[in-house]
């Protein structure tokens, strides 16, 4: 082993430090969760605790491995406002915080119509603070005194690179990830950035993810025991990082990645940045790839929905298993077309913002919130709770089947909205790649597309490690295609003649 690569991979839930060797093999890793800290009653990232943990883990790894470089990958929608001391001057509020409709209304009154901004910046009108421009505006309003001390604003990966090196910079994958801050048509700061006065606070040159930000500073070197020659790459947005192994193996187009987790993120590398008129106002957007090219993207909270509903079903039946594939059961539900589970548990998070989460059985709506474990429809008779629950609740397997069918219906929509074409291969990674029922029905819905389940356990981390190897060796991404292996297993298809009719019936329910 000539050298080792450290990857700091910051998910919304799990934080990880991993070490790879020069052949991109995982050598070691440590994980930890961090509870949000409250500032003015608002949930915020505990940046100081995270930094302390990163340093301690790197110190352990520095004694064991010849680390030559560090890459940082993070979840999206997070910028950090920095003061003269090089630390966060303003609390970093979680993007999941919902500031309320009046806040969103004020944002668009100040900075432009939502559809116009989506067309120019590739950014949809998310709820909560999933649009970083909204997050910065919210922080400025909530912490107005602290914001007066801000002299630098950095995307989340580059904040950590700045903490490690003392050098500030930005790169394309994060600036182009539903921020409202970057004009993707003219490749410059957006009108929103200008009106918010952010152009002077954010570095304005976009670097590549594999460009070198700088070497670690003396303080960080002393704290970790790493050599002062260790360098840090620019960093990368996590969804874009997962694309890099596929770009290396498959080229830059001709496939769609369905990266499944809390968010199901469906990404299609396309030739041209362009929205259809009926896509504006939907949760369809464009990422900017590590190459600076457009990736048409659509998302929904599939993992959250599966976890929330399945936890409810398990509690009701005092079980903790997940039912296996039962083709006869799925065929029966599909053909009968009278049982549906509807999105969205988190309103405005997916492809059906007008849909109210519920179960529809035999034409009757059952409004039950699995997150709260409570009926949300006023009871016709408060003494008879059981009558307000759908009959399917008594059948454990049927509950899971209708849930998985709902996730498939939402996935079909996202695939259509990112522009799937006949012949496109579909790659499924993440938690859902182990769900045979979901994969079997989804594959069956696309007769002209092959669906593959991949065996990349840590696609985000290995993608980040690849950026370091490119920086060290000077190789381009394609040159790394033989340095690692991805296992692909083609998903078998079944024939469900009633699937199209079931989907049409499901779609009609989203409009009610």
* DSSP of 346-392: STTSSS-TTPPPEEEETTEEE-EETTTTEE-SPPSSTT-GGGGS-GG
**What is the spatial distance between Cα 252 and Cα 255, in angstroms, rounded to a whole number?**
8
Q: Which two tokens stand for residue 319?
A: 């079980």
**What is the spatial distance between Cα 448 and Cα 425, in angstroms, rounded to a whole number?**
9
C-beta separation of 342 from 360 below 8 A: yes
C-beta separation of 437 from 324 below 8 A: yes
Cα-to-chain-centroid distance, residue 428:
14
Query: Which residues of the chain are modeled with pLDDT < 50?
Result: 377-386
pLDDT for 456 equals 82
Ramachandran area for residue 102 (φ above 0: left; ψ -120 to 50: alpha; else beta): alpha
pLDDT for 374 equals 55
Q: Which two tokens stand for residue 34?
A: 């961090």
Query: Which pLDDT tens digit goes with each residue over 432-453?
Result: 999 999 999 999 999 999 999 9
Phi/psi at 505 (5° precision)? -65, -40
C-beta separation of 234 from 157 below 8 A: yes
CA atoms within 13 A on the CB side of 409: 25
Largest CA distance in the chain: 72
List alpha helices for 152-299, DSSP H. Answer: 156-165, 172-175, 191-196, 218-224, 238-250
pLDDT for 170 equals 98
Q: Residues 1-13, buried b or exposed e (16+ Cβ, 10 A)?
A: eebbbbbbbbbbe
């Amino acid at each position: 082993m000539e050298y080792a690569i450290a990857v700091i991979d910051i998910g919304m839930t799990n934080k990880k430090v991993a070490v790879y060797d020069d052949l991109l093999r995982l050598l070691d890793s440590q994980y930890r969760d961090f509870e949000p800290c409250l500032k003015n009653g608002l949930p915020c990232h505990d940046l100081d605790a995270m930094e302390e943990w990163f340093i301690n883990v790197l110190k352990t790894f520095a004694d064991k491995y010849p680390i030559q470089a560090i890459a940082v990958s993070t979840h999206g929608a997070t910028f950090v406002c920095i003061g003269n001391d090089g630390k966060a001057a303003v609390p970093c509020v979680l993007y999941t915080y919902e500031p309320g409709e009046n806040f969103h209304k004020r944002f668009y009154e100040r900075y432009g119509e939502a559809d116009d901004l989506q067309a120019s910046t590739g950014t949809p009108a998310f709820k909560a603070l999933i649009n970083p421009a909204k997050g910065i505006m919210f922080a400025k309003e909530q912490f107005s005194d602290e914001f007066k001390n801000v002299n630098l604003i950095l995307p989340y990966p580059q904040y950590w690179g700045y903490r490690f090196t003392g050098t500030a910079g930005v790169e394309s994958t994060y600036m182009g990830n539903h921020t409202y801050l970057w004009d993707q048509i003219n490749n410059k700061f957006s009108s929103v950035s200008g009106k918010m006065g952010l152009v002077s606070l954010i570095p304005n040159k976009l670097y590549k993810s594999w460009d070198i930000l700088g070497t670690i500073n003396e303080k960080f070197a002393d704290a970790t025991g790493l050599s002062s020659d260790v360098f840090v790459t620019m960093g990368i947005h996590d969804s874009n990082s997962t694309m890099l192994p596929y770009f290396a193996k498959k080229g830059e187009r001709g496939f769609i990645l369905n990266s499944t987790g809390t968010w199901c993120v469906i990404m299609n590398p396309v030739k041209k940045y362009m929205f259809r008129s009926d896509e504006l106002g939907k949760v369809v957007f464009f990422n900017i790839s590590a190459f600076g090219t457009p990736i048409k993207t659509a998302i929904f909270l599939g993992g959250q929905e599966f976890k929330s509903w399945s936890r409810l079903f398990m509690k009701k039946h005092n079980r903790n298993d997940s039912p296996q594939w039962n083709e006869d059961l799925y065929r029966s539900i599909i053909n009968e077309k009278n049982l549906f589970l509807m999105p969205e548990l988190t309103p405005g998070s997916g492809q059906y913002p007008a849909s109210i989460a519920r179960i529809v059985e035999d034409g009757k709506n059952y409004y039950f919130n699995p997150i709260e474990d409570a009926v949300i429809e006023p009871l016709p008779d408060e003494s008879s709770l059981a009558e307000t629950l759908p009959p399917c609740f008594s059948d454990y397997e049927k509950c899971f089947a209708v849930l998985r069918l709902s996730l498939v219906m939402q996935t079909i929509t996202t695939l259509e909205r990112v522009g799937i074409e006949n012949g496109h291969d579909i790659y499924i990674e993440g938690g859902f790649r182990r769900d045979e029922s979901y994969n079997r029905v989804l594959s069956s819905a696309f007769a002209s597309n092959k669906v593959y389940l991949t065996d990349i356990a840590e696609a985000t981390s290995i993608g980040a490690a690849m950026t370091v190897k490119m920086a060290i060796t000077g190789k381009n991404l394609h040159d790394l295609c033989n340095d690692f292996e991805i296992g692909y297993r083609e998903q078998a298809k079944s024939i469900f003649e009633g699937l199209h009719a079931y989907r049409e019936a499901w779609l009609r329910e989203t409009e009610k």
